[in-house]
Amino acid sequence: MQPLVRFIGAGILAVLVAAHAQAQPQADAFPNRPVKLIVPFPPGGPTDLMARVFGQKLSERWGQPVVIENRAGGNSAIGAQQTAKSLPDGYTLLVAMDTTLVMNPITTKNLPYDALKDFAPISLTAQNTSLLIVRADGPKTIQELIAKAKASPGKLNYGAGTITTRLAGYLFSRLAGIDTVFIPYKGSSEVVQGLLTGSVDFIVDGIAPSLPLINSGQFRPLAKLNNRALPTLPELKPLAEASGLAIDEMSSWIGLVAPAGTPPAIVARLNKALNDTLKSDEIRKRLALEGAEPLPSTPAEYAVDIDREETQWGKIVKASGAKAD
């Protein structure tokens, strides 16, 4: 029996060696056909815009098309579920926000994916700045907005397209001691339209979708939610400074993940391509115009960030009672 055992052991070893030898050329040749980036939000929002910026540069680097597919719905759950069920070969990737990997697991029952088990983190890509915005005929300052809300408790409403921006509006209202009503939207384009038509009194959203209306004088930004310099709005103050409230900085992030089981060699290749792209001056300048900052990482660092933010935001969500709409 011993020779047979040795024979079987040698056979298994040979299979493993052959599998490794086969996998490495596949990784070295990756990608040799189009790569799909699933964006779990409608076109026109910050996630979509950034995905198209990255996708164009990656396509130039690889000499292969990078196709953007918008799969909106369920606070990004529909696009995430589609990605989780895709072949783990590196050719279908998810452009994931904190909403997808942190907020949804905290706020949603029966989520159709497991944020920890169904994805292989590739890298963070960018950190986004959100603004608190009113129409041009609205309050001129944060203090005026707070005074208006206090004069009519429960009458002012605000719109947001993600759980993160919704919670930012909730924290602002709580710290300001005002009673506001949240109106949910599916994405930034709907949020902007809601403010434009007067369906909401103020919004919390990324810069890019509202910037044309700010520049045309139809919208007025009252504050930014972090201290990052904004080349497009250099005079805009952080919310804490503009309001006098003791409110922490709040940012949302965007990252890239693959289906769980994607070969580590392909994940590493994707990570290097993305991080090299993020180092370019062209990308940095383009992101700055969108109110974003490059945020490269290793897959391991990205996984740690997801876990840490879930703990941090879990406490805030519990206090707010927020649920996914």
Inter-residue contact 127 to 293 (CB < 8 Å)? yes
Start-end ranges of CATH 3.40.190.10 in the chain? 130-243
- Compute the distance between CA of residue 34 and CA of residue 273 in angstroms, rounded to an integer: 15
Start-end ranges of CATH 3.40.190.150 in the chain? 31-128+251-320
pLDDT confidence of residue 135: 97
- Using 50, 70 and 90 to split pLDDT, how confident is the model at 25? low
How big, in percent rounded to 5, are the helix, strand and coil portions of the chain?
50, 20, 30
- Work out the average pLDDT over 287-310: 87
Q: Which CATH number fits domain 130-243: 3.20.20.140, 3.40.190.10, 3.30.470.20, 2.40.170.20?
A: 3.40.190.10
Beta bridge partners of 27: none
pLDDT confidence of residue 146: 96
Comparing 325 with 140, the larger pLDDT belongs to 140
* pLDDT over threshold 50, residue 7: no
Residue 147 CB coordination number (10 Å): 13
CATH no. of 31-128+251-320: 3.40.190.150
**Helices marked H in 133-263 — which ranges?**
142-151, 163-176, 188-196, 207-215, 239-243
* pLDDT over threshold 80, residue 27: no
Q: Mean pLDDT score of the chain, rounded to an integer? A: 87
pLDDT confidence of residue 78: 95
Q: What are phi and psi of 25, to 5 degrees?
A: -60, -35
Q: What is the pTM of this model?
A: 0.77
- Report helix angle 163-176 to 299-320, nearest 10: 50
pLDDT confidence of residue 1: 42
For the record, the structure tokens of 172 come out as 């602002």
Contacts of 266 (CB under 8 A, 6+ apart): 26, 27, 30, 89, 90, 258
Residue 32 CB coordination number (10 Å): 10
pLDDT confidence of residue 320: 64
pLDDT confidence of residue 3: 46
**How would DSSP label each residue in 226-247?**
S----TTSTTPPBHHHHH----
- Using 50, 70 and 90 to split pLDDT, how confident is the model at 26? low
Handedness of CA 85, 186, 69, 270 (dihedral sign): negative
- Work out the average pLDDT over 68-80: 92
Inter-residue contact 41 to 277 (CB < 8 Å)? no
